[in-house]
Amino acid sequence: MSKSHNNRPKNQSRQKQIKENEYTGDFEQREYIHKSKNRNIQNERKAKLPATVAEQISKLKERGCIVEDEEFAAETLTNINYFRLAHYFSLYLQEDGKYKEGTKFKEVLRVYDFDRKLRSLLMGALEEIEIALRAHCSNYHAIKYGATGYLSAECYSHVHNHKAFLSRIKRLIESNEDSEMVQHYLKKHGGLFPLWVITELFSFGGLNMFYADLKPSDKMDISKKYYNTSSGDLEMKLRKMSDLRNHCAHYHRLYDWEMGDLHSSEGTVFEYILVMKELYRQAFKWREGFLKQFRRLYYDYKDIVELSMLGFPENWLEILSEDKAEITPVGL
């Protein structure tokens, strides 16, 4: 299969058009609704009937997909929902509802595999950023305000809703009550949790909210000390990383997808990766970790994927390999 999908326009109206062509009810579905007691025009467009794996394969073939090994296709569709794979088949769907000439099942599945492995790789890198942010926020705040200073409303800005914050902490402790860490502080410390323990219970989004609610001077100190940037810039970057993490955690497609289609912050996957690079504190670890693994992944799939579909420029390797000044925290 050629990489003919690369010429497909990238905009939301096109995305919507593809989804309508891909998922609109077939004749049998419309007939079923037509005969039902609850028939109406809206249901005729939206209602779906389940299809067996064999029927799914037949549908793919009717639309022009080349299925060279039906046993392999059946095994795949038994273990991967057709609806999930349809997001990748839609990359090759024409306006007439047929797939582009030469579209092969195994090659579409390779795009799916590349996307899946890329999500996993991004999640690993995001974990590094998230863990570092937990340490930076808890260390700074605890040293300045004390281990349990986070329980005082005076440690936050005027936008902070302290009552809601304390309720959220209470729920986090209750939902993690069976963990060894929580049990230790409940039994040995009377339920008094230091900040460095509480931050381990925060989601990435919750951690970002904690940082955003700090006093402006504290946010500025953390952003300068650990990231060499402004507090506003750090907030924006963390929001992007939280959006990317949620995107990957819910197994959404990355290939040929503008992130703004699902999230408040916009940009291509490459732009998000650039932000990730900026938040990495060690250039060597970035190059020998994420970048090396990404290069290996790309070269394994370069016959079937185009990095331009992720927003990568031609000189992407040079940009992602560029050294940045190592950040040495003040006072360390």
pLDDT tens column, 286-304: 999 999 999 999 999 999 9
Q: Which of these, 26, 24, 19, lies nearest to 90 by C-alpha position?
A: 19
Specify whether the CB–CB gap between 128 and 280 falls below 8 A.
yes
Encode pLDDT of 244-273 as tens digits: 999 999 999 999 987 776 666 678 999 999
Answer yes or no: is 66 within a domain.
yes
pLDDT at 215 over 60: yes
**Per the domain annotation, does 331 fall within a domain?**
no
Lowest mean pLDDT among 29-38, 82-91, 233-242, 252-261: 29-38
- Is residue 3 a part of any domain in this protein? no
Indicate whether 134 and 247 sit together in one domain: yes
Least trusted range by pLDDT, from 11-20, 222-231, 307-316: 11-20
- Which of 65, 81, 103 terminates a domain? The answer is 103
pLDDT per residue as tens digits for the range 106-138: 999 999 999 999 999 999 999 999 999 999 999
Q: Residue 65 in contact with residue 105, Cβ under 8 Å?
A: yes
Are residue 142 and residue 242 in the same domain, yes or no?
Answer: yes
Of 71, 103, 135, the domain-final residue? 103
Please identify, among 76, 103, 130, the residue that sits at the C-terminal boundary of a domain: 103
CA-CA distance, 96 to 63, in Å (whole number)? 9
Encoding tokens for residue 308?
């331009």
Q: What pLDDT is attached to residue 50?
A: 83
Give percent of the chain with pLDDT exceeding 70. 81
- According to DSSP, residue 18 is labeled H
**Are 191 and 92 in a shared domain?**
no
Cite the beta strand spans of 98-180 per DSSP E. none
| Lowest mean pLDDT segment, chosen from 17-21, 277-281, 312-316 | 17-21
Same domain, 88 and 138: no
Number of domains in the chain: 2
Query: Do residue 40 and residue 129 come from a single domain?
Result: no
Confidence check: pLDDT of 167 > 80:
yes
Q: Is-contact 211 133, C-beta < 8 A?
A: yes
Query: Are 188 and 239 in the same domain?
Result: yes
How long, in residues, is the chain? 332
- Whether 173 is in a domain gets the answer yes
Q: Look at 307 and 48; give whichever has higher pLDDT.
A: 307
Three-class SS string for 68-113?
Answer: CCHHHHHHHHHHCCHHHHHHHHHHHECCCCCECCCCEHHHHHHHHH
On whether residue 326 sits in a domain, the answer given is: no
181, 200 contact by CB (below 8 A): yes
158 with 276, same domain: the answer is: yes
Q: Rounded CA gap, 147 and 197, in Å?
A: 10
Residue 328 lies in a domain: no
Residue 42's domain spans which residues?
11-103
Give the lowest-confidence range in 13-22, 48-57, 65-74, 275-284. Answer: 13-22
Q: What pLDDT shows up at residue 265?
A: 66
Q: Is residue 327 part of a domain?
A: no
Do 35 and 97 belong to one domain? yes
Verify that 166 and 228 share a domain, yes or no: yes
In a domain, 214, yes or no: yes
Residues 237 and 315 in one domain: yes
Residue 104 in contact with residue 65, Cβ under 8 Å?
yes
Q: Which of 47, 69, 45, 39 lies closest to 57, judged by CA?
A: 69
Range 281-291 burial, b when 16+ CB lie within 10 A, else e: bebeebbebbb
Token pair belonging to 325: 């000044």
* C-alpha to C-alpha distance for 164 and 28, rounded to whole angstroms: 51
185 in the same domain as 129: yes
CA gap 332, 329 in Å, rounded: 6
Give the Cα separation of 52 and 58 in Å (integer): 10
- 254 and 271 co-located in one domain: yes
